[in-house]
Structure 1
């Protein structure tokens, strides 16, 4: 999988000292609610529903006095050396931020501020966006090698408390980077946020029934949560189909069967010859799934895929 295959564009970049694993944090200009809300709005506007590519800075800051030999700091500094100057990951952030103290707990947040807060302003990185979907960039290339000198300097020469928005040309430069999806501890936050969106949306009943069949093997959930998981999956599948219809790519993703000529001859819609298929049904409710988890298949290819899924499930069980 490459960056170009993501279901939404990479719209911005975050420069960090260390790799973000569960959240990306931003420091408001002041510690009051108004400043935090303003900071959140700025970040939301910058990533705009797209993905964020993470860059590790060349420099690593010094902690407050008394923490120079702190084991956690020394470990982090060593980890930084291996990643400095590299593009390391692509993240999908939750639409809205959470208080970092809520995410970390009061004790860990206090320790973080003791180590890094400057000038008594104990709200460093306090506006935190949970990471709900994450991909490691294979090989973690040097940013300069990927972007070239001019784009690199524009994005990273100066420090920034917010994100850097990418230009179309910068998106083109990173489009071929290979990705490997990694587990995300906060994926449940993104999933549950979308339960409400799915519940409030109209979904094609045929799509909902089809996805219900694909997810029939889901186990280990309470009935209410299972219903929400299935509804969300159908909501995503419905979006996937509409995106394909807008793009004019109503063909089988496995055998490339194009039903348009036949549909025109019979006076029916091409979509009726293809099934929507969930490629990873057992991931629902566990991983933050997207339109990339769905396919359009002709009935024969759809049947073959389900045979493969059943065979794979038996092999895992044995």
Structure 2
């Protein structure tokens, strides 16, 4: 895609930030301004200000600069970044201890949701026609925005190809809600290991699929070749969209089940019957499900 397909006007650019290299995390970090121990609130304003501006002007351009940047990257326009309103301690956004130590010199950060490589990583002077690198003045510890220079940079980049970096992503479960949020503890706060295959022993109540299939076929036949929910009237040609509900739960005990003991329901009505019943052995009657769902839709 092209740069101007993502940023269609220079007004969407909050400015530029000098960086020593390409992104390794979904955040943009800031170095200390003054004494962090004595004036932590002053320092955190760097992150807050950037996050606040991002709510209206979300995009930022990173350019190689600063004492630690290599000669290869110095003055090169590296990436387009989409900044969120979420900010906090850099260490709270990083789970890897080695990376946390590496980033300790930049203790405040704002989260990113998108990172794009600017193809060719053009040089400000040699490739984009800037007379010098003054656009980076005061862009080392904060974001710098000179409106005239930013407009010129956008014009120079607007037709260039950019490539989304899907290897750089926010923390699992992160949702950008478009609000200013200070994260005061490790993010995300909860994780759970899932997906492992395990074997369980269990007792199942026996069900007979033949009578369930027969009930569905009867429902289809009675409704002109379509399945219809007896609770809400939803209809579809696919049998998979419907459940066969036992009016008297089979968990009560063994019995001879007839077609009259069953109802064809959509999954919502089926769940409604069991969730709204007196208890797990007394589901809500289908007529009552129909009445409640109808009243719910009219509210």
TM-score (normalizing by structure 1): 0.45
Q: Which has the larger radius of gyration?
A: 2
TM-score (normalizing by structure 2): 0.48
Where is the helix percentage greater, Structure 1 or Structure 2? Answer: 1
